[in-house]
Structure 1
Amino acid sequence: MDVTRTRVLVAALAAVALVGGCSSSGSSGDSGGSTTQAAPAAANDLQDDYQKVIKDVLPSVVQIDAAESLGSGVVYDDKGHIVTNAHVVGEEKTFKVTTATGEQALTARLVAAYPEQDLAVVKLDDPPGGLKAAAFGDSTKAEVGQIVLAMGSPLGLSSSVTQGIVSATGRTVSEGRTGGGTGATIGNMVQTSAAINPGNSGGALVDLGGQVIGIPTLAATDPDMGDGAAPGIGFAIPSSMVKTVADQIIKDGKVTDSGRAALGITGRTVLGDDYRPAGVAVVEVTKDGAAAGAGLRAGDIVTGLGDAEITTIESLSEALAADRPGQKTRVTYVRDGDEKSAEVTLGEM
Structure 2
Amino acid sequence: MSTENEGTAVPPAPSAPPVRVDSPAASPHPAAPDDGGPHTPAPAAPYGASDPEHAPGPHGAFDPHGAPEAPAAPPSAPSYAPHQAGDAPGSQAPDASWPPPPPPPSLPSYGGGDGSGGGWGGSGGGWGSSYQPPAPKPRGRGGLVAAILVAALVAGGLGGGLGYTLARNNDETSSTTVAASDTGGSVKRDPGTVAGVAAKALPSTVTIEAASTNGEGGTGTGFVFDKQGHIVTNNHVVADAVDGGRLSATFPDGKKYQARVVGHAQGYDVAVIKLVDAPSDLVPLPLGDSDKVAVGDSTIAIGAPFGLSNTVTTGIISAKNRPVASSDGSAGSKSSYMSALQTDASINPGNSGGPLLDAQGNVIGINSAIQSTSNGGFGTGQAGSIGLGFAIPVNQAKFVAQQLIKTGKPVYAKIGASVSLEETTSGAKITEQGVSGSAPVEAGGPAAAAGLKPGDVITKLDDRVIDSGPTLIGEIWTHKPGDKVTVTYERGGKQHTTDLTLGSKTGDE
Residues 150 and 119 of structure 1, relative CA distance in 2, 3 Å threshold: same
Q: Deviations over 1:144-203 (max 9, x none)?
A: 22222110111111111111122222323222352587512212x222111111110100
1:185 corresponds to: 337
Residues 11 and 143 of structure 1, relative CA distance in 2, 3 Å threshold: same
Q: Which amino acid aligns with 1:73?
A: G
Residues 267 and 209 of structure 1, relative CA distance in 2, 3 Å threshold: closer
**Could you tell which deviates more after superposition, 92-101 or 223-232?**
223-232
Residues 48 and 204 of structure 1, relative CA distance in 2, 3 Å threshold: same
Q: Answer whether contact 2:189 2:196 (CA < 8 A) is retained.
A: no
2:219 corresponds to: 70
Q: Distance in 1 between matches of 2:356 and 2:377?
A: 28
Q: Deviations over 1:197-255 (max 9, x none)?
A: 11101001122322222111111234376556661111111222222222232233334
1:292 corresponds to: 448
Q: Distance in 1 between matches of 2:315 and 2:489?
A: 40
Q: Answer whether contact 1:269 1:277 (CA < 8 A) is retained.
A: no
1:54 corresponds to: 198
Structure with greater helix percent: 1
2:232 corresponds to: 83
Equivalent position SS for 2:222:
strand
2:397 corresponds to: 242
Structure 1 or 2, whichever has the larger Rg, is 2
Unaligned runs of 5+ in 1: 14-26, 30-43
Q: Distance in 1 between matches of 2:266 and 2:349?
A: 18
Q: Answer whether contact 1:270 1:280 (CA < 8 A) is retained.
A: no
Equivalent position SS for 2:30:
helix
Q: Answer whether contact 2:301 2:357 (CA < 8 A) is retained.
A: yes
Q: CA RMSD in A?
A: 3.7
Residues 114 and 49 of structure 1, relative CA distance in 2, 3 Å threshold: same
1:211 corresponds to: 362
Q: Answer whether contact 1:327 1:346 (CA < 8 A) is retained.
A: yes
Q: Distance in 1 between matches of 2:456 and 2:365?
A: 33
Q: Which amino acid aligns with 2:485?
A: Q
Equivalent position SS for 2:193:
helix
Structure with greater strand percent: 1
Unaligned runs of 5+ in 2: 1-21, 34-118, 122-187, 212-216, 505-509
Residues 52 and 255 of structure 1, relative CA distance in 2, 3 Å threshold: same
Residues 69 and 296 of structure 1, relative CA distance in 2, 3 Å threshold: same
> Which gives a bigger RCO, structure 1 or 2 (Cα 8 Å, sep 6+)?
2
Equivalent position SS for 1:327:
strand
Q: Which amino acid aligns with 2:442?
A: T
1:39 corresponds to: none
Q: Which amino acid aligns with 2:294?
A: E
Matched positions, count: 307
Residues 270 and 277 of structure 1, relative CA distance in 2, 3 Å threshold: farther
2:158 corresponds to: none
Q: Distance in 2 between matches of 1:233 and 1:215?
A: 14
Q: Deviations over 1:288-333 (max 9, x none)?
A: 2123324556xx334333385665x424424645777421323335
1:95 corresponds to: 247
**TM-score calculated relative to the size of structure 2:** 0.52
Q: Distance in 2 between matches of 1:54 and 1:279?
A: 45
- How far is the alpha carbon of 1:128 from its aligned partner? 2.3
Q: Deviations over 1:61-94 (max 9, x none)?
A: 1011111232100011121100001111225335
Residues 12 and 70 of structure 1, relative CA distance in 2, 3 Å threshold: closer
Aligned-residue sequence identity (percent) comes to 33
Q: Answer whether contact 2:189 2:195 (CA < 8 A) is retained.
A: no
Residues 51 and 280 of structure 1, relative CA distance in 2, 3 Å threshold: same
Q: Distance in 2 between matches of 1:271 and 1:55?
A: 43
- How far is the alpha carbon of 1:265 from its aligned partner? 2.3
Equivalent position SS for 1:292:
helix
Q: Which amino acid aligns with 1:304?
A: I
Residues 279 and 310 of structure 1, relative CA distance in 2, 3 Å threshold: farther
Residues 12 and 178 of structure 1, relative CA distance in 2, 3 Å threshold: closer
Show the 5 A alignment for 1:69-218. 69-93=218-242, 94-103=246-255, 105-178=256-329, 182-187=334-339, 189-218=340-369
**TM-score calculated relative to the size of structure 1:** 0.74
Q: Distance in 1 between matches of 2:373 and 2:325?
A: 14
